[in-house]
């Protein structure tokens, strides 16, 4: 689009007869072609940047999933560690109880051994003493039975302690088995966590590489955008220089030579109250970032007039419909030929013109309705373009300022 716009400038300026025109046109053509190539490269970088950003998003989402799983596994590991700690404390307590029972058994066994030794060494004396010291036979038998009972008590105490100790040991063995199972489960979770840690590290590396690619693409796009801007400044400089040269040769007249319209025969293309006060962009260079952001060129080859969508558009002069079509860039378009090489175009309409190609229209007839169609638009408005030529109408060719035709100056 920019190349077409600058070719419009070239075509308009070629009306003069400066001998430097060929060199001037070649210089601008070279700069415009270079900018087109740069813009194409920027689009490629932008597409690559979109892919990189999509990859970054996917990696970051995956890392979040890994982090969530690592957190869950760590919670499980912590739970197993708590269980293992409790089981270990239980084992230690059971071990103390076993040792206590063993100590009681040892103590009881030592006491029994002493009594058995005493009875063995002094058996007869004890029996005689028990016999003569007793008041009766029954008393003597009772004393001997006591000695036997005492010996049996020692044996029973030791046996009971042994049974209790074995029960504690069995309990301890069971708890140790449980602890081993917990440790195995914990080890499995730790191994899984290590695998996830490795996967996360790999994804972190991929993410770092993706961000590096992103920064590289952004820097490349910024460099190309700066180069485009520099070229556009050069083009503007060339245009200004040529305007000055042409004005000097025409005695200060920079109006467009033999094609300059000097009357005010055009009627206003919109109904009241959408008059000159509603003009939002005039013919010539512009720097509105909102408009430029749509992809439109810096040079505006027409007059923009704000009006609500659906506002009727009038034929500014009697004429014939020479075009009625839709363009991705400028939306629905209708063009008229008014004779004497003068054409008008209406862009961004909300629908096709109600007039067919070849229809004759009169000044004031409705030829369309205001809209906001096309890529190069930021809202509902009418773009009025005036182009000149003597070899038939051609879109974006030999545009001139519509203001004089409307009697604005």
Quick one: tokens of 154?
């020692």
In 111-200 the beta strands, taken as DSSP E runs, fall at: none
CB atoms under 10 Å from CB of 90, counted, come to 16
pLDDT confidence of residue 322: 86
Q: How far is CA 369 from CA 79, 238, 373, in A?
A: 73, 38, 11
Do 84 and 186 contact (CB within 8 A), yes or no?
yes
Q: Specify the CATH architecture of the domain 17-249.
A: Orthogonal Bundle (1.10)
Q: How far is CA 180 from CA 55, 126, 173, 177, in A?
A: 44, 57, 10, 5
Percent of the chain predicted with pLDDT > 70: 70
CB atoms under 10 Å from CB of 170, counted, come to 11
CATH 1.10.287 in the chain: give the residue spans: 17-249
Closest C-alpha among 198, 179, 228 to residue 2: 228
Do 280 and 306 contact (CB within 8 A), yes or no?
yes
Closest C-alpha among 326, 307, 323, 327 to residue 387: 323
CB atoms under 10 Å from CB of 89, counted, come to 11
pLDDT confidence of residue 259: 39
Model pLDDT for residues 277-288, shown as the tens digit of each residue: 999 988 877 655
pLDDT confidence of residue 209: 92
Question: Distance between alpha carbon 277 and the CA centroid of its chain, in Å?
Answer: 43
Low-confidence ranges of the chain (pLDDT < 70): 1-29, 109, 112-113, 115-151, 153-154, 238-264, 286-298, 390-397
Phi, psi of 372 (to 5 degrees): -140, 40
Burial class (CB in 10 A: 0-12, 13-18, 19+), 198: exposed
C-alpha to C-alpha distance for 403 and 331, rounded to whole angstroms: 23
Q: Where do the H-state alpha helices sit in 311-351?
A: none
pLDDT confidence of residue 406: 92
C-alpha to C-alpha distance for 9 and 5, rounded to whole angstroms: 7
Do 266 and 217 contact (CB within 8 A), yes or no?
no
Closest C-alpha among 184, 196, 179 to residue 73: 196
Topology of domain 257-406, CATH: Glucose Permease (Domain IIA) (2.70.70)
C-alpha to C-alpha distance for 404 and 387, rounded to whole angstroms: 13
pLDDT confidence of residue 14: 38
Quick one: tokens of 254?
């920079």
pLDDT confidence of residue 294: 56
Do 357 and 334 contact (CB within 8 A), yes or no?
no
Closest C-alpha among 362, 348, 340 to residue 302: 348
pLDDT confidence of residue 249: 45
* 3 state SS for 173-184: HHHHHHHHHHHH
Do 44 and 15 contact (CB within 8 A), yes or no?
no
CATH 2.70.70.10 in the chain: give the residue spans: 257-406
Q: Max alpha carbon distance in the chain (Å)?
A: 167
């Amino acid at each position: 689009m920019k190349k077409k716009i600058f070719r419009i400038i070239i075509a308009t300026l070629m009306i003069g007869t400066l001998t430097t025109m060929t060199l001037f046109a070649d210089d601008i053509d070279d700069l415009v072609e270079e900018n087109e190539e740069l813009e194409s490269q920027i689009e490629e970088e932008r597409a690559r940047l979109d892919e990189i950003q999509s990859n970054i998003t996917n990696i970051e989402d995956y890392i979040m999933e890994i982090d969530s799983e690592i957190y869950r596994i760590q919670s499980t590991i912590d739970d197993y560690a708590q269980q293992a700690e409790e089981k270990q404390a239980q084992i230690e307590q059971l071990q103390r109880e076993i040792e206590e029972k063993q100590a009681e058994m040892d103590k009881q066994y030592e006491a029994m051994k002493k009594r058995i030794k005493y009875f063995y060494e002094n058996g007869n004396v004890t029996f005689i003493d028990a016999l003569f010291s007793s008041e009766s036979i029954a008393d003597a038998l009772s004393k001997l039975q006591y000695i036997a009972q005492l010996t049996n008590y020692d044996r029973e105490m030791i046996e009971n302690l042994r049974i209790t100790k074995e029960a504690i040991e069995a309990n301890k063995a069971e708890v140790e088995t449980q602890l081993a199972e917990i440790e195995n489960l914990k080890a499995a979770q730790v191994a899984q966590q290590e695998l996830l840690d490795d996967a996360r590290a790999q994804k972190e590396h991929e993410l770092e590489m993706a961000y590096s690619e992103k920064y590289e693409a952004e820097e490349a796009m910024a460099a190309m955008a700066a180069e485009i801007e520099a070229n556009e400044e050069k083009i503007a400089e060339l245009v200004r220089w040529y305007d000055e040269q042409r004005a000097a040769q025409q005695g200060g007249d920079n109006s467009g030579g033999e094609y300059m319209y000097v009357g005010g025969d055009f009627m206003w293309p919109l109904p009241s109250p959408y008059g000159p006060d509603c003009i939002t962009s005039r013919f010539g260079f512009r720097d509105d970032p909102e408009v430029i952001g749509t992809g439109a060129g810096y040079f505006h080859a027409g007059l923009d007039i704000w009006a609500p969508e659906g506002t009727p558009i009038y034929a500014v002069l009697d004429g014939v419909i020479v075009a009625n079509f839709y363009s991705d860039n400028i939306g629905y378009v209708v063009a008229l030929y008014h004779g004497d090489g003068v054409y008008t175009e209406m862009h961004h309409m909300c629908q096709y013109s109600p007039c067919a190609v070849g229809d004759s229209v009169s000044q004031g007839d409705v030829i369309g309705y205001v809209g906001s169609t096309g890529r190069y638009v930021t809202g509902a408005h009418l773009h009025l373009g005036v182009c000149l030529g003597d070899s038939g109408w051609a879109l974006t060719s030999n545009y001139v300022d519509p203001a004089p035709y409307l009697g604005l100056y």
